Amino acid sequence: MKIPFIDIHTHNGQNSEETFAVQSLFLQDIGKTGVVNFPFSAAIHPWHVDKYNLVEINQMLEKIIADKNLLAIGETGLDKGCTSNYERQKEVFNLHIELAHAIHKPLIIHAVKSWNELVPIIAQIRVPIILHGYSQGLNLTRQLIDLGCYFSAGKLALNPSASFVEALTIIPLKSLLFETDDSMIPIEKIYDQVAGLLNVSVELLKNQVYENYFTIFPESRELELK
């Protein structure tokens, strides 16, 4: 089988012969049946936590947990850059963590200006953690490597800060992932950019991310990525 480019977190991407994409869905947008016909993650985004109470969120989550295409819970997390109530964000984030533990699914974490609160929480999480849109500096990256996180580089890698380039050089390739998020940038462009920054081949990155995917989602070994 030809190894695809894996896009671990996208709101726009589609699967093709060249790309395997994990769609990131807003939980409230999933239909009443809770059935999704492609690989996906879902959660209440920190931006939307004020719109629903915990009972409503639990009811929405209950509809999707049995779906074989649900790969991860997320994106979820903490965002001090938005207008949503921060204490409310914590409540919903904790709800998502509890569910991820209960059904043994990875978490895709959204973090903005909240790392001081997030690092101690991450240290207590017992499922794989994917840090989406990661672009932080060296010291924080060292802490998160020690906690076993996966780092998903996206559009910010195309115009990276010097501190992020420095951080990229210490992230083990076995902990690296790539994403397009809400952009229309081809995932291949992000692989190519990071390969250049790390002075490795795109093919090497493709092969490594493919293995990383199966480390995070071992049940997918039974399925052929298409």
Which stretches of the chain are assigned E, i.e. beta strand? 5-10, 19-26, 40-43, 70-79, 107-112, 129-131, 150-153, 176-178
What is the pLDDT tens value at each position of the chain, 226 positions in all? Answer: 689 999 999 998 778 889 999 999 999 999 876 778 899 999 999 999 999 999 999 999 999 999 999 999 999 999 999 999 999 999 999 999 999 999 999 999 999 999 999 999 999 999 999 999 999 999 999 999 999 999 999 999 999 999 999 999 999 999 999 999 999 999 999 999 999 999 999 999 999 999 999 999 998 766 555 5
**Structural domain boundaries in the chain:** 5-217
Q: What pLDDT sits at residue 17?
A: 82
Contact 15, 3 (CB under 8 A): no
Q: Please provide the size of the chain in residues.
A: 226
Sort strands 40-43 and 70-79 into parallel, antiparallel or unpaired: parallel
Q: What pLDDT sits at residue 35?
A: 76
Which stretches of 102-184 are assigned E, i.e. beta strand? 107-112, 129-131, 150-153, 176-178
The whole-model pTM stands at 0.95
Q: What pLDDT sits at residue 225?
A: 59
Spatial CA neighbour of 71 closest among 133, 10, 114, 156: 10
CATH class of 5-217: alpha beta
Q: What pLDDT sits at residue 222?
A: 60
Q: What pLDDT sits at residue 195?
A: 98
Contact 208, 173 (CB under 8 A): yes
3-state helix, strand, coil in the chain (%, to 5): 45, 20, 35
